[in-house]
Amino acid sequence: MTIALVSEIAAEEDDLSVWPASTTRLPHGGLAVGGVSLADIADRFDTPAYVLDEGEVRARCRAYRGTFPDADVLYAAKAFLSRTMVRWVAEEGLGLDVCSAGELELAVTAGFPPDRIVLHGNAKSPHDIECALRLGVGRIVIDSPSEIARLAALVGPHGRQKVMIRVIPGVSAGGHEKIRTGTDGQKFGLSLTDGSAQHAIARLLTQPQLHLVGLRCHIGSQITDVKPYVAALRRMVGLMARVRDTHGLILPELDMGGGHGIAYRPGEPTLDLTALARGLRIELAASCTAAGLEVPRLTIEPGRAVAGPAGVALYRVLAVKNTGDQVFVAVDGGMSDNPRPALYGVRYAPRLVGRHSTVDTRTATVVGRHCEAGDILATDVELPGDIRPGDLLAVPVAGAYQLSMASGYNMVGRPPVVAVDGGTARLLVRRETLDDLRSRDIGE
């Protein structure tokens, strides 16, 4: 291995750009997040475990509030939700975007104001809708024509519920085809191009129990370019103008969803929030001026961009296997706590922590413990050549869509969530135990 290549690999290993801002280096190869050693967290809470940096979450909430001072910012609960996360979001002035009665109940029972919550989803159950109405949710997003009459009936003749229509604007964006939601041919929303959205609006306006206050779109996830958002906004304003011309109704709200891209590995692109805010603001003013519309109140819904970079996943190495030219490093977690690599090929950058190795690195594949060939957490990663059972691996950018998508596969139990801040670690969500799993099984 040449000196230049060794230096390049060392620089990559030393790059903490995708880690929480509070991350610091400790002697002997250790790392601390929020002033707490990751190795100490692993010893105290065992592994696998998720570490969530409170300061990073709050800083990202504040960055959104500061960048979009004239907009409503809703945290997308599906990224990760807990009672403490609800409190952090509320204290930082964000609203909440939920997609189930479970998320909604947790938020409200944790003290979040229901009028600052939006419920959406392509297939809301009667329980979801009844829960939203009972708790007084701020807005319900209509996703299909069948929801209109159903929702109106549940509201009742003397009630009135603010609603929005989810529109497919015909803009393709996102890091993978499975997370692109702005074009026709998928399950979300009502099409702008085939007239479904316009027809649904006309039907909705015949229901006096439903108060249409605006339109919503969500064009995809892991988007790092401003242009698709600007294009979608232009089309959404065009539809708002048609609603005014056809029905004499001026809609005061426009929700542009989320999907803001973040870097999972050093050097990957991210969405520039300042550029996004400027692009949306300029296009909104120009499009509304051209259409003779009042500028609506803008809403955005970041989830991953708030929680993702604040999280770190910790795993213990269980086995190292050399198969031909491949090196497999098996850890004590896997697709049960992070299915995203198997679902849509997300790539991570695991790092050895807790000890310093002077051995040259080698390319390895980090795999999980589950009975699936697709149980792979990270491919083609550089790890020390002496990686061995008992070593601790830390995976940054683990705060979103990992534990929230976790399953009970192989009955290994879901990991805990540990919050760190100011040198203190505390448990937010405890580890799922075998007793938890057995308690649900009530058959004889």
Enzyme catalytic residues: 371
Q: Give the torsion through C-alpha atoms of 251, 252, 254, 255, to 10 deg.
A: -120
What are the distances in angstroms from CA 337 to CA 50, 385, 402, 438? 10, 26, 6, 19
Q: DSSP for 124-158?
A: --HHHHHHHHHHT-SEEEE-STHHHHHHHHHH-TT
Q: Is the dihedral of CA 439, 110, 127, 297 positive or negative?
A: negative
Residue whose structure tokens are 């819904």: 301
215 CB neighbour count, 10 Å cutoff: 26
Whole-number Å distance between alpha carbons of 155 and 134: 10
How far apart are the two ends of the chain, measured CA to CA in Å? 62
Q: ω into residue 396 within 30 of 0, thus cis? A: no
Whole-number Å distance between alpha carbons of 310 and 138: 28
403 CB neighbour count, 10 Å cutoff: 25
Beta-strand relationship, 326-331 and 361-367: parallel
**Looking at residue 180, what DSSP letter applies?**
B
